Amino acid sequence: MINRRLALASVVALSVAGLAAPASAHARLVSSTPARDAQVASPASMRLTFSERMVPAFSTFEVADSQGRAVPVQVTVSEDGLSMTGTPGRRLAAGLHTVTWRIASSDGHRMTGTYTFTVR
């Protein structure tokens, strides 16, 4: 009798917990160079700055050109953990480029985001 009732309580508790499963997104991209929607010459380096410290091992970003092909980028995270800098391995061709970033925070959250900019 006790076991069945407690089992029911456990199911309820887990259901409540399960309903709330979607991930959060509380570190915001504060600024970037090139900025979102900017029109720039091919950048020698790119920088993304966030509102919260990120865990370097799980944080990076990727760049894809207008054809969806990946542009090789060497990414490093700053000392203070608030920004990451990337050096493209080659000149970016003219056209729309998509940046996709993913970071992890020290309390275990994972956040992703994307934006585009255009190379003249």
Partner 1 sequence: MLEGAVIILRWLQFVGAAGLFGLSLFQLYSPASSEAVGRRGTLVLTASGLIVLASLGGLVSQTAVMAGGLAAALDPTALSMVAFQMGLGQAHLARAALGLAAFSLILAGVRGRLLWWGLAGLGLGVCATFAWSGHAGATEGTLGLPHRLSDAAHVVAAGAWVGALIAFLTLVGRGAGTDRQTLYRALAEFAGVGTLAVIVLTVTGLFNALVLVGPAAAPMALGTAYGGLLAIKLVAFAGMLGLAAANRFQLTPALGRAEDEAATQAAVNRLRRSLMLETALGLIVLGLVAALGTLAPPAALI
* Nearer residue to partner 1 within complex by CB, 6 or 70: 6
- Minimum CB–partner distance for residue 3 and partner 1 (Å): 10
Tell me which residues in 42-61 interact with partner 1 (CB under 8 A): 51-53, 55, 57-58
Helix/strand/coil (H/E/C) assignment for every residue in 33-89: ECCCCCEECCCCCEEEEECCCCCHHHCEEEEECCCCCEECEEEEECCCCCEEEEEEC
In whole angstroms, the minimum distance from the beta carbon of 13 to partner 1 comes to 3
Q: Is 1 in the site for partner 1 (CB under 8 A)?
A: yes
